[in-house]
Every structure is written in structure tokens, then in C-alpha cells.
Structure 1
Amino acid sequence: MSVERPVRVAVVYYSATGTVFALAKAAATAAEKAGAEVRLRRVRELAPEEAIASNQGWAENAAATQHVVEASLDDLEWADVILFGAPTRFGLPAAQLKQFIDTAGGLWARGKLVDKVVSSFTSTATAHGGQESTILAINNTFYHWGAIIVPPGYADPVQFQMGNPYGTSHVSNNGEVGPGEVELVAIGFQTTRAVEVAAALKAGRYALETS
């Protein structure tokens, strides 16, 4: 393993009306600025076409994000850092993201997800709509993987404005309000922190291997 290889970051998300997509794009941009190789990936939509068509915001976002490559298990194996983002559904991550996670059993069984640096983010329609429980539910996956969870904590001043140490979260007012400056700065910080931790781990492993 070469310590000179950039950290690899996979930002894997599900977004119905575009709020989580906006956070995911900001995360990908922050990772690139931190010197990482980045894959921005959307998970497969499971909802029927008639349900999507019945909501203008949902339909518009589906059309606008067709260019984003669909997530695959190769993205998880490739990455040093994995960020999962999903809106909440009854205090849990949306089924679309959970379905993708459920396909990773083979990688898990072969130990391919151990020591990945991981973090998560979310959006809710209303305040107190399950932001923390959604992030904690996503993180339950990481415990089983043996991954290394890197939360934003209150490790940057923006976190005292954003207010969620578990991961970046946003109140979308039923999809009508996109992330503001505070949320975008917060997801940038969260991502950069994860990249920095992964780089330090990689450098440490390289030092051990070459000592």
C-alpha cells in the first residue's frame, strides 16, 4: 500500500426531493478540496413511478439527478471513507438506502468493510422529525462492519450553529427549503474530518509496514 495514494471517498445517498442530494454534493466537493478521490453515488429508487409523479419536487429531482451514477458494492470496497446520507422515514433511514446496505453482506462476510472510516447525514421534513435517530440507525450498520465512525462532534465552531454532533442534518419544511450556509459548511467540515482521519490511519499503517 502506498501512502501517496489519495484517500478514496464514496458519498452514497438517497434523496427524494433533492435536499439530501444537495448535502451529498457538498460532501463530495469538500472531499475533493481535501485532496481525495471521490465517487458521488445515488442508490436505486424503489418507489413506483406513479408515486414519484404525484410529487412535483420528487419528480423534478429524479429527472435532474439521472446523471448521477447508481451505487454499487464496488464503490464500498473501493473507498477508504464512506458517507451515507438519507432522509428520515418514521425516524429511520429511507428504505432505498437500507436496501442498498442490505446487499453488502458478501463484503461484510469477507471482512472488506472492516476499518472503513464512516460517517452519516440526514434531512427531515420538520424539526425534531427523527434526525438523530436516523443517523444512529445508519451507524448501527457500521458497528457490524467493524468500521470507524467519525462524527463531526463539536470539533468546529460551525457545529455550535448546526447543533447536531451525530452528523449534519437539515429541516427541509416538507422538501421546500434546501440546506443553507450553516448546513453546507457543516457537511463540509464533517467530510473533511473523515478524510483527515482516514489519511492519518493510512499513514500510520504505512509507517508500520515499512518500519
Structure 2
Amino acid sequence: MGRAIWDYFKNENPEDLQTETSISELDELPVDYLFRGFDEMNKIEQKALKLANGKVLDIGAGAGSHSLYLQNERNLDVTALDISPKSIEVCKLRGVRNAVAENMLHFSDGTFDTILLLMNGTGIFQSLNVIDIYLQKLHSLLNKNGQILIDSTDILYMFDEDEDGGILIPADGYYGELDYIVHYKGESEEPIKWLYLDFNTLKNAAEHNGFSIERILQDEDSYLARLTKK
């Protein structure tokens, strides 16, 4: 994905990304979607960006569109964080003043009033087996009265129903734990673990790790949640 972002920004023959998961077929992801402005963002993204305040950490910043809006339109102190060096280089070239290429679990540059995890922000947690590790890390990065704004989608609708109306979901593990694969210019990344969470499952995990949680916005099967320290 970082290479696609780089090619698009540099106009070096960019192509659309192709994505697939362990329960869905190949789908096109236009690269320009990662460069969209505020007016082109969905309701959940717009709501989160309006609620952001203080010193902000944008985790999984990608091409930096959320960070740029907060920095330039809201005049907030923003740090863009992404695991992809090419993505972070593009963030810097687009004008993001603070941008860091690092795994969230290894990042330790201060604490923040708002932490953003958008575009299925729960995906970064990988699986329920390790979600506590990520939530404890987020807890350590958050100021006392700070907020985490995170979105996800309950993907139960993607599974078939049986004759009695019951949902046919895998017997082993949580149905929102998927393998996610990105293809670009004929090359494929290794599958990564990606987690979609229904709100109640996120609520249970958040409360177990010292957070209070509220659902800020529901948009069909997707939602925006706010986590604060208890």
C-alpha cells in the first residue's frame, strides 16, 4: 500500500490496489481514495475529525489525509504514525509536519489528548488473542483526560443464513478475525491479520483494559466509538 501511495503522489504509473480477505473476493481500491479531502470522507471519519482536539496521534495515517485536515484546517498539533516508510515520506512531502514510520507498539514519543484509529481502526489489533497488548499500549499513550476515537464494522452480515435464519459462522475463533491481502502491480503482500469488531466485543475488551467506552455514531453496520480512561 505504501508503494501505491508513493507511485500516485509521484505520478509514477500508479495502479489501483486490489484487496481480498479470507471471506471475500478480490476488490478494487482506487489509490486516489487514500488522498481524498474532508468533503469526500464518510460520516464516521468526518465526525471523528470534528471531535479531535488538543495534541493528536493519527495511527495508520496512510497518505496523511486525516492528519493534514487536522493540522491545516483545525490548527491542531498532529503526529502521523504509520508502519510504512513510503507512506510516511508522502505524508511529509504533502506537508504533515510531524510524521513517524514505526510500529504503534514501539512508539513512545509522548502522550496525546486525541488518538485516532480510522478506516476500521480495530484492524490493527489483529486478533482477540492480542487485543489487550494494543489496548494497554494505547492506554499508556493517552493523556489523563484524553480520548481515543476508533471505528469498526460488524461484519456478521457477510455470513450466510441457514434455513432457520441462524448465521453460519466459523466454529473456531471470532468471526471478525480475517486474513487481509493487498495486491499491487502483480505483487502480493503476505497475508496480515485484520480484526473487525462488533461494538459489544470492543466494549468488553476496552473495559477490561481500563477504559470507559461510548458509541458516538452508527452508520449501517459501522460505528465510531470513543474510549476514555476510567
Larger Rg: 2
- The structure with the greater share of residues assigned to strand is 2
**Greater RCO, CA 8 A, separation 6+:** 1
- The TM-score with structure 1 as length reference comes to 0.39
- The TM-score with structure 2 as length reference comes to 0.36
- The structure with the greater share of residues assigned to helix is 1
